[in-house]
């Protein structure tokens, strides 16, 4: 089986991740219940007339995917695989509220067309005229991981050489209200550095798009190797550490051999226990990072975790703000990521230096 490399990344998030020059140099702290992504200069990537018709999720994805392609020095790819937990929420809300408000009259098709979950994958294919394999996964917090798993399988079996994968989700006004009503979003604003100690229900919600070119060919731009990935629809809290050990063992690794553990804590007092369980047992002597307090929780937020891991492996340094414990590794060769949302759809992802 062939190695699978991450050859490039492209990102739009609520941190400085779009441009290389200031990539995660200064970490922005937020104090809110939702954190929107920073808008890049869309004009540099999308003709303004086209951009006007696009919701933020589509625009962020086109920017992130174009940057990823550029950095991998590619015009097109063999396949495009997208993950999105909630899909094109803004257009869904727009079309649905129009149906209700106008009693099914005076509707226009554009928001309906763009509400389809595979709009982003289809738009990117149109943009780069890619007629290859095009899948969209929409499975909660395993949406991005499903895309990663699919791409990895194709590259290992040499069914493709270059695959663009990405995770995208966008915030939308009514859905924010609904998630506040059921306390999936925290009631009151919390400062980023205090999110993990908030001791309250719910998370700070965010949005973003992180795209990657994966390849079975190493090149100068290669950043990391995707060594392994496993997803679980359910996992009882008492099994998390055991599954992590099994996952590492399958890769001939012991928890003590991991240089960094990147966790998906979002400050939800009900569900951070899953992460804390790992952090305080098998991996208590491993350097630990968290990122969701600074970018918010969304179904594909874990794609930012992969972005962070990739950057740590490449630069051998990490933003101090994201560090959760006091341990500092002397080098970063192997990074483990663990993510879940509300106790469902768990994933372990293992990245190596290349």
Binding site for another protein (CB under 8 A): 80, 85-87, 92, 95-97, 99-100, 103-105, 107-109, 112-119, 121-123, 125-126, 129-140, 142-143, 146, 149-150, 153, 156-157, 174, 177-179, 181-182, 184, 231-235, 239, 243, 299, 344-345
**Angle, CA of 300, 64 and 23, to the nearest 5°:** 90
Q: Least distance in Å: CB of 118 to another protein? A: 4
Q: Which is nearer to another protein, 81 or 253 (CB)?
A: 81
Q: Which is nearer to another protein, 36 or 132 (CB)?
A: 132
- Residue 252 to residues 36, 66, 304: CA-CA distances in angstroms? 40, 36, 26
Answer yes or no: are the C-beta atoms of 91 and 123 closer than 8 Å. no
Q: Which is nearer to another protein, 15 or 146 (CB)?
A: 146
Q: Least distance in Å: CB of 122 to another protein? A: 3
Q: Which is nearer to another protein, 58 or 335 (CB)?
A: 58
Q: Least distance in Å: CB of 279 to another protein? A: 21
- Residue whose pair of structure tokens reads 């700070």 in the numeric block: 204
Q: Which is nearer to another protein, 38 or 237 (CB)?
A: 237
Q: Least distance in Å: CB of 30 to another protein? A: 24
Q: Which is nearer to another protein, 21 or 182 (CB)?
A: 182
Backbone angles phi, psi at 219, to 5 degrees: -140, 180
Q: Least distance in Å: CB of 332 to another protein? A: 28
Q: Least distance in Å: CB of 235 to another protein? A: 6
Q: Least distance in Å: CB of 126 to another protein? A: 6
Q: Which is nearer to another protein, 23 or 135 (CB)?
A: 135
Q: Least distance in Å: CB of 138 to another protein? A: 4
Query: In sequence order, what are the residues at sequence separation of 6 or more whose Cβ sits closer than 8 angstroms to the Cβ of residue 326?
Result: none
Q: Rounded to 10 degrees, what is the CA torsion of 321, 324, 328, 329?
A: -110
Q: Which is nearer to another protein, 15 or 92 (CB)?
A: 92
């Amino acid at each position: 089986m062939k190695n699978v490399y991450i050859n490039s990344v492209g990102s739009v998030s609520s941190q400085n991740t779009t441009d290389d020059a200031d990539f995660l140099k200064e970490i922005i702290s937020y104090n809110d219940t939702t954190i929107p992504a920073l808008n890049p200069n869309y004009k540099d990537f999308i003709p303004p007339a086209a951009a006007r018709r696009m919701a933020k999720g589509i625009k962020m994805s086109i920017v992130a995917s174009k940057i990823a392609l550029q950095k991998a020095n590619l015009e097109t790819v063999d396949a495009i695989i997208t993950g999105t937990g909630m899909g094109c929420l803004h257009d869904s809300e727009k079309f649905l509220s129009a149906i209700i408000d106008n009693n099914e009259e005076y509707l226009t098709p554009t928001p309906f067309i763009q509400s389809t979950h595979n709009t982003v994958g289809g738009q990117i294919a149109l943009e780069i005229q890619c007629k290859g394999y095009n899948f969209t996964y929409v499975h909660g917090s395993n949406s991005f991981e499903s895309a990663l798993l699919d791409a990895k399988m194709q590259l290992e079996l040499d069914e493709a050489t270059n695959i663009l994968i990405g995770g995208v989700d966008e915030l939308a006004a009514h859905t924010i209200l609904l998630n506040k009503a059921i306390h999936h979003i925290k009631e009151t604003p919390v400062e980023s550095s205090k999110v993990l100690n908030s001791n309250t229900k719910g998370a700070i919600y965010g949005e973003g798009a992180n795209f990657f070119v994966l390849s079975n060919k190493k090149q100068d731009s290669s950043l990391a190797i995707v060594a392994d990935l496993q997803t679980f629809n359910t996992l009882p809290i008492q099994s998390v550490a055991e599954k992590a050990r099994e996952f590492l063992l399958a890769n001939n690794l012991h928890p003590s051999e991991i240089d960094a553990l990147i966790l998906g804590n979002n400050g939800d007092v009900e569900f951070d226990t899953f992460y804390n369980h790992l952090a305080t047992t098998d991996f208590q002597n491993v350097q630990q990072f968290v990122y969701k307090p600074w970018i918010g929780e969304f179904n594909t937020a874990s794609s930012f975790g992969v972005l962070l891991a990739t950057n740590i492996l490449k630069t051998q340094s990490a933003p101090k703000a994201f560090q959760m414990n006091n341990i500092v590794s002397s080098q970063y060769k192997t990074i483990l990521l663990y993510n879940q949302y509300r106790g469902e759809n768990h994933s372990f992802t293992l990245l190596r230096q290349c």
